[in-house]
Chains A and B, each alone.
Chain A
Amino acid sequence: GAGVSQSPRYKVAKRGQDVALRCDPISGHVSLFWYQQALGQGPEFLTYFQNEAQLDKSGLPSDRFFAERPEGSVSTLKIQRTQQEDSAVYLCASSYGPRGEQYFGPGTRLTVT
């Protein structure tokens, strides 16, 4: 079946612009995670949804980062007033439950110029 998909795959933004990154999880997966992967590093947790509820946003680096999953399926990660340090690959993962195996999407590579 279809895996986790993310769009766009690549995004270039000028500093100060707002961006929106989309994640389509595997159908029926209750849990959805967002991670940020800086160049040469391992992914870092950003936020977690169980259905439409955002249960953990402890990893969001600033109040410029906002995520939502209004209908418990597609999720959007929004970054306002982008800064150069926001340049990274943003990974989305879904699982059937919080303790299930996480399946990752291909990521969105964000470059802020």
Chain B
Amino acid sequence: AQSVAQPEDQVNVAEGNPLTVKCTYSVSGNPYLFWYVQYPNRGLQFLLKYITGDNLVKGSYGFEAEFNKSQTSFHLKKPSALVSDSALYFCAVRDIDSWGKLQFGAGTQVVVTP
């Protein structure tokens, strides 16, 4: 079975500081990993994905993620956080044995203070 874990319920960071949201995964075979963001009363918005290739993946709104096979991690990063980045972030893995359904982590609430 494939799964992802997000070890932090909440991350607090000051505006302008680097932001990191952690995700570890457990898969059989090659992982297909995703990050989504959810703002209040809105659906999930796609940020970026790792399928294959470069370990550093660049996505929307200045976010990037680093795939680390040896540590089975896929941490989301942003060099300089904005107050508007405050939201709920989900890591997900695509189940390769099914029709593409996503398995999500529990989510990490990011709070960026001015």
Q: Which residues of A pack against B, CB within 8 Å?
A: 4, 31, 33, 35, 40-45, 48, 50, 55-56, 58-59, 91, 93, 95, 97-107
Contacts and interface: CB of A to CB of B under 8 A. Distances in A.
Q: Which of A4, A55, A100, A104 has the most CB of B within 10 A?
A: A104
A101 B49 contact: yes
Given A42-B90, A48-B99, A104-B44, 5 more contacts: A42-B107, A55-B99, A93-B44, A97-B100, A99-B94
Contacts of A106: 41-43
- Chief secondary structure at chain B's binding surface: strand
Interface string B26-53: 0000000010100001111110010000
Interface of B: 34, 36, 41-46, 49, 90, 92, 94, 98-107
A103 B90 CA distance: 14
Contact of A91 (B41, B43, B98, B103): B43
A45 B94 CA distance: 11
Contact of A41 (B41, B43, B106): B106
B100 A95 contact: yes
Contacts of A56: 98-99, 101
